[in-house]
Amino acid sequence: MGFLHDRLTEAKDAVAAGQPEQAAETIVHALLEGPGTFDQNLTDIVSENPDK
């Protein structure tokens, strides 16, 4: 899950840097451009970060 994992890491870094808009943009990009369908990508991102 390299692409999605990398985008999730970028989004977390953006939030930590005080840039929530950039984090949201990164997540939307990952959902739309990731390796699976939008729904599959969303499921994969949520399952990688289940506590949030």
Tens digits of residue pLDDT in 7-52:
999 999 999 999 999 999 999 999 999 999 999 999 988 887 666 5
**Tokens encoding 47:** 């399952």
pTM: 0.81
pLDDT at 4 over 60: yes
Per-residue pLDDT at 22: 97
Q: What are phi and psi of 34, to 5 degrees?
A: -65, 180
Q: Which residue is associated with the tokens 């939008």?
A: 38
Per-residue pLDDT at 15: 97
Per-residue pLDDT at 52: 55
